[in-house]
Amino acid sequence: MATNNVIVQKFGGSSLRTKELREKAVEHIKQSVDSGNKVVVVVSALGRKPDPYATDSLIDFLNGQAGEGVKDRELDLAVSCGEVISSALLTSLLNMDGYDAVALTGKQAGILTDNNYTNGTILDIDCSMINKYLDQNKIVVVAGFQGVSTDGETVTLGRGGSDTTATALASHLKADSAEIYTDVDGLMTVDPKIVPDAKPIKVITFYEVLQMARDGVKVIHPRAVEYAMRHSVPIYIKNIENSYDDEGTKITHNVARKQTKKSQIITGIGYLPKVTQITLDFESDCSQVIKVAVFNEIAKAKISLDMINVYENRLTFTVREANAKSTIELLKEGDFGDITKKTDCTKITLFGTGMTGLPGVMAKALDILNKEKIEVLQTTDSNITISCLIQGSDTERALRLLHEKFYL
């Protein structure tokens, strides 16, 4: 298959936090160039709070100085500087090692966004300047997380914005792949901080990663995955500490998995803590109109619901803990029915294309939890996911059990 020989490499803040890590980033870039690739690098701001140039540090500084006087327009202008500093520094390090590199802001890189300050969406990318420098055999280092609106304003892309910058550029440049460098060995079968036996996932589908990202796995942002999926650009999640040849986790369209007696029916497990379950009981003659009115009122308040179950005279759903109080107040104001809640819950989700069309997976999951007297409060499923709501105090035990019993 013909290749374009363009590789996009993205380095997050945790991968650029120290001098030693920045040297490792430079080595990965140089090895890709020495392998015959044209390289576009996307960078996040250096480090994490309280590092001085980290995004949260810049936000805190501005808010601490001006408080309510800080508007979203000026906030975007200020925090975009973190990535610009990062791109200038990494470019200088490459030039110092004899590799010809050039730094670009999001605007210079041609990234056009909407006018939604602090959470912009990429509308288009004009790659002409990037291509000009690539044709001159330069390494192009782009400040991630930012672009320019149709009005010429600096707009940032929200959390995970540098991931989105990387996969969007890879898509528009028709790159061979996008490499996302981080401080872990790729996507893991479960959170290794809870389950020490967690293993790196070698290959996984875009769809599985989308589900994982939306249900508690925080390695890559869903918007970044969607961009790559639409344009069929493979993504590699790599550990910056490992050798350049280590592929980490490959994210692609189709994955062939062998079916054996102890085959991995599921690919991984994610979890969302601090979830509140809300149940709304209606009068016995409840109509569909009332249920629709409930969902409309919640939607107007811009509250996201999850694990929705609709019954004849009852609605059950979950919300993040931060939205629980306002959701309950809204339901009381509407006088829709009797409200009950369960706080401090955790949503555990099993992912995997291996369960598609396979009967008995939910039964096995429930049996595993039931034998250990872990109460399941609610379930939902799709063709590649099974989710169970449990009490938060049972989270660690449930994750270890499911990881072991499903042969992960």
Q: Which residues are annotated as a binding site?
A: 10-13, 55, 83, 182-183, 218-219
The token duo for 314 is 């009852």
The token duo for 274 is 């601090």
Are 403 and 264 a contacting pair, CB within 8 Å? no
Q: DSSP letters along 277-304, please?
A: EEEEEPPTT--HHHHHHHHHHHHHTTPP
Tokens 């992912």, residue located = 351
What are the binding residues for substrate?
55, 83
Tokens 């280092």, residue located = 141
User: Which residues face 281 on adjacent strands?
Assistant: 314, 338
What are the binding residues for ATP?
10-13, 182-183, 218-219
CA-based torsion, 198, 199, 204, 209: positive or negative? positive
- DSSP-H helix ranges across 160-277: 161-172, 206-214, 222-231
Residue 131 makes CB contacts below 8 A (sequence gap 6+) with 173
What number of residues does the chain have? 408
